[in-house]
Structure 1
C-alpha cells in the first residue's frame, strides 16, 4: 500500500470523499456529519478561511484531508477551529469537587459536581481527526494528528493561545452512551445518535434551550454513567496518548453529550510547535535520504497549504529532500519549509 501521502487544504470538490469518510466515522464526532448540505457549507467556509488575509477569529474553520497521491483517494482528515463559541455558544461540563465536613460526626465528604460552562469561548479547537483503518500503520495516524499542530506553528496569529481537543466519549458496541442515557436523554428525549446528528447539522441552540443550567451532582447518577466520565472512545485512546505526549492535559472539562475528555495546552508549549523550525529546502537524491530521519514537513504557504511525511537531512539552515517530497509539498529549492522530527 502507498506511502505517497499528502495533507492538503480541503475544498468543495472534496464533498463526495468527505461524505464517504463520514460513513466510516460513526456517532460522536459532530464535526463530520453524514449530511451533504452541512458538509458543503463547512468546506466552503474552510476554503474561505484558508484564503482570508485577516482571520475573523469567529468559528473559523481550517479543514484538511489526507490524500493518497497514487490513487487520488481521500483517506483521512484533521482540522483546526479558531474562535470557538464566539457567535454560537460552546458548552462543556466542568468537573469540580465540593468538600463538606462535620466536626460533630467527625466526617468529611467529597462530592463531584458538573457545572455547565462556556469556558472555551474564543479558544482554538483541534479536532476532526479520522483515518481509514487500512492506513493506520507506519506512523501515519501520528503524522495526521501532529500535522494539525504544524499549522499552529506556521500561522500562530490565526489561533488563540489556549488550544483544546474534545475527544469522543466511550460508547458500547451499539453506539450507546451510558452518560447520555442517564443524563442528557432525561432533558432531550432523543437517542444519542439523533442528538449528535442535530448538533452537527443544526448547531447548539437546542442545548441552550433545553439543557439544565443548575449543577449536576455526579454521585447521584448510576455508576454506569459515572464510570465513563472523562473516558475516551476505544478508538480514541491512541489519539489521546499522542495529545498527552504533545503536552495536552485533562483539566476536568468533558463533553456534555458523552462525557468524553477535553484536553488542553498553551499553543507555544505544544511539543510539535516548540520543536519545529523553518529551513530552506534543498534538493538531493532519494538514495541520499534513504537512511535519513523521518520528518513532518509543511510548505508554510497558507493558500496552498500542504504537509507530508518523508525522510530528510537537516542542518542549521536547510533540509535536503528528494524530488518526490518537493513535488508533494509543491516547493522549489531555496523556499522555506517547516520541519519537525516525526
Structure 2
C-alpha cells in the first residue's frame, strides 16, 4: 500500500536519490545534500508548530512510501519567495501604432515581475518512473488534502511551476536566447547558482526592460509556455484540479506557471471529513478513493477502498493502519481523478 507522510531526517539518502533522478530543471528539488537537509529541517519545524495563520516561512515536505521504501516526494511552500522576491516573466501584449502610416501592431512581450511573491507554491514533485497513475496522483493530491485540513495555514492563491523545454544535454532554447546573454552561464550552471546563492542575482543581471518575443530565435519562441514531457503527468493532474496556465512563465526555461484560487481546487472544495469505522468487510458501494487523517506531524494519506454511509467512512484494517486511525477518529475523503 502506498502511503504519504511528512519527510523525516532519516529520509535524506532517499531524497538525495530522488533529487538526482529528477534530472535537470527541478530547482525545487536540488541535487545538493546541504540544501536538501536544510529543507527537511525546515519542514520538520513547520509540522511541529500550531497554526497561527499563514506563515510565510513554512515549508512542508512529504514522501511517498511503499513497502518501507521512499519512492516519491512533493512539497508545499506556504509563501513563494518568502525571503526574496519570486521572479517570473509576465506575458503581455504591447501595441505599436502609427496613424500616419496606418500601422497598428500588437507585439508579444515578456516583462520580468514578482507578482507571484507570497502565493502558496506546490513544488518539489517527483516519483520514481514506472509507478502507476494512482501512486502519482496520491503523491500530488495528498498535499491538497493536507491544505484542506489545515486551511488557516495557507493564503488564497496557489501556483505550480512546470519544467520548460530542454534537451538531454541541458540546453534550453529559451535560456540560450535570453538569460545566457546576460549571465554568460549555461543552463546547468545557472541552475546550480539558483540553488546555492541568493536569488537577487536575477534582478542584478536579467534585463529589466520588456523582451520582444518576435526578436527571439524561432526555437526559443516555440518553447514559450511549453512543458517538458517529464512534467506532462503532473501537469494533467493539476489541470484536473482546476489549475490553469496563466500569463506567467518560468524566468529560466520559459515553462508555464500554473495558477489557481486555492479554495476552488477540487480536492480542497469537494473533500469531506467523516468519522471512521473500521471493519474487514466493507459495504457493497465501497470504492477506491483518497484518504487522509486529521493529524499535523502525524499526517498520513493513502488510496484505499472506502464507503461513506450516513456520514460515516467505513475502511478496512489495512487502510486504518496506513493512516494510523482507530474507529471514531476523523478522516478526509476525496474521489480519485483516475476513476
> What TM-score do you get using the length of structure 1 for normalisation?
0.94
Give the match for residue 210 of structure 1: 205
What secondary structure sits across from 1:133 in the alignment? coil
Give the match for residue 332 of structure 1: 326
Contact 1:59–1:85 (Cα < 8 Å) also in 2? no
Over 3 Å counting, the alpha-carbon distance change for 1:75 and 1:281 in structure 2 is same
Give the match for residue 44 of structure 1: 41
Q: More displaced, 181-190 or 83-92? A: 83-92
Instruction: Return the alpha-carbon distance in structure 1 between the equivalents of residues 18 and 114 of structure 2.
Output: 30
Give the match for residue 188 of structure 2: 193
Cα offset for 1:290?
8.3
Contact 1:84–1:121 (Cα < 8 Å) also in 2? yes
Over 3 Å counting, the alpha-carbon distance change for 1:55 and 1:61 in structure 2 is farther
Instruction: Return the alpha-carbon distance in structure 1 between the equivalents of residues 254 and 73 of structure 2.
Output: 23
Instruction: Return the alpha-carbon distance in structure 2 between the equivalents of residues 82 and 67 of structure 1.
Output: 23
Contact 2:54–2:155 (Cα < 8 Å) also in 1? no
Over 3 Å counting, the alpha-carbon distance change for 1:162 and 1:228 in structure 2 is same
Give the match for residue 316 of structure 2: 322
Give the match for residue 115 of structure 2: 119
Instruction: Return the alpha-carbon distance in structure 1 between the equivalents of residues 168 and 41 of structure 2.
Output: 34
Instruction: Extract unaligned runs of 5+ from structure 2.
Output: none
Cα offset for 1:289?
6.2
Q: 1:183 aligns with which of 174, 178, 192?
A: 178
**CA deviation vs aligned residue, 1:25-47 (integer Å, no higher than 9, x gap):** 01111111111111111100000
Contact 2:305–2:315 (Cα < 8 Å) also in 1? yes
Contact 1:289–1:321 (Cα < 8 Å) also in 2? no
The structure 1 segments of at least 4 consecutive aligned residues displaced by more than 4 Å after TM superposition are: none
Instruction: Return the alpha-carbon distance in structure 1 between the equivalents of residues 9 and 104 of structure 2.
Output: 58
Instruction: Return the alpha-carbon distance in structure 1 between the equivalents of residues 6 and 153 of structure 2.
Output: 16
What secondary structure sits across from 2:182 in the alignment? helix
Over 3 Å counting, the alpha-carbon distance change for 1:108 and 1:188 in structure 2 is same
What secondary structure sits across from 1:46 in the alignment? helix
Over 3 Å counting, the alpha-carbon distance change for 1:208 and 1:180 in structure 2 is same
Instruction: Return the alpha-carbon distance in structure 1 between the equivalents of residues 305 and 46 of structure 2.
Output: 31
Cα offset for 1:55?
5.8
Cα offset for 1:185?
0.7
Give the match for residue 26 of structure 1: 23
Give the match for residue 151 of structure 1: 146
Give the match for residue 16 of structure 1: 13
Q: 1:230 aligns with which of 225, 234, 239?
A: 225
Instruction: Return the alpha-carbon distance in structure 2 between the equivalents of residues 37 and 86 of structure 1.
Output: 20
Residue 264 (structure 1) aligned with residue 259 (structure 2): yes
**CA deviation vs aligned residue, 1:101-160 (integer Å, no higher than 9, x gap):** 33443332111111111111211001111110021x142212221221111211111111
Give the match for residue 287 of structure 2: 293
Instruction: Return the alpha-carbon distance in structure 1 between the equivalents of residues 87 and 284 of structure 2.
Output: 48
Instruction: Return the alpha-carbon distance in structure 2 between the equivalents of residues 187 and 59 of structure 1.
Output: 31
**CA deviation vs aligned residue, 1:257-297 (integer Å, no higher than 9, x gap):** 00110111111100111110000111111x53687211111
Residue 162 (structure 1) aligned with residue 160 (structure 2): no
Over 3 Å counting, the alpha-carbon distance change for 1:105 and 1:289 in structure 2 is farther
> What TM-score do you get using the length of structure 2 for normalisation?
0.95
Cα offset for 1:9?
0.2
Matched residue count: 335
Contact 1:57–1:122 (Cα < 8 Å) also in 2? no
Give the match for residue 58 of structure 2: 60
What secondary structure sits across from 1:227 in the alignment? helix
Over 3 Å counting, the alpha-carbon distance change for 1:61 and 1:116 in structure 2 is same
Instruction: Return the alpha-carbon distance in structure 2 between the equivalents of residues 168 and 316 of structure 1.
Output: 44
Instruction: Return the alpha-carbon distance in structure 1 between the equivalents of residues 303 and 283 of structure 2.
Output: 13
Cα offset for 1:50?
1.0
Contact 1:161–1:267 (Cα < 8 Å) also in 2? yes
Instruction: Extract unaligned runs of 5+ from structure 1.
Output: none
